[in-house]
Structure 1
Amino acid sequence: MDWLVQWWDGVELWVVQLPVAVQFPVVMIVVLPACLGVARLIDRVADWGAKNPASAPEPEPEPESEKVAA
């Protein structure tokens, strides 16, 4: 896991050292698709959870209608 932290620190240092005019497009090219991907993943998981029959409460039985003597 240490290699991932080292790599991320290197990327972060590289982005911070770029001029702001270059930082913005670089961040938008990377962050925008990443956020879109995470949002789609969350949406699919939420849809799956909503459609999962195990998560739905059991329907209550309908009450019997009262018989009326004529």
Structure 2
Amino acid sequence: MGRFLSWWDGVELWLSGLPFIAQTAVVMPVVLALAYGTAVVLDGALGNGIRLLHRARHSEEDVE
């Protein structure tokens, strides 16, 4: 863990030393990829949850 934290400190120092435009060019693809991945996972989870609720609701209607 200490090796990773030392590496991360070096990355932070390198990134903070870059000009703003370069920082943006380095950080934005990473942030956009993380946001896209999070949106895909949440969309899938929500879609499956809604599908399960519809299935449960329809099975309750069939019983009555």
Q: Is TM > 0.5 for Structure 1 vs Structure 2?
A: yes
Q: CA RMSD in A?
A: 2.6
Give unpaired runs (5+ residues) of structure 1: 63-70
| Cα 1:52–1:12 shift into 2, 3 Å | farther
Superimposed CA distance per residue, residues 11-65 of structure 1 (whole angstroms, 9 cap, x where no aligned partner): 2222111111211111112211221111111111121222236x94662654xxx
TM-score calculated relative to the size of structure 1: 0.60
Normalising by structure 2, what TM-score?
Answer: 0.63
Structure with the largest fraction of helix: 2
Question: Which ranges of structure 2 fall in alignment gaps of 5 or more residues?
Answer: none
Q: Which has the higher contact order (CA 8 A, sep 6+)?
A: 2
Report the number of matched residues.
61
Matches within 5 A, 1:14-33: 14-33=14-33
The one-letter code of the counterpart of 1:36 is Y
In structure 2, the CA distance between the partners of 1:56 and 1:33, relative to structure 1 (3 Å rule), is same
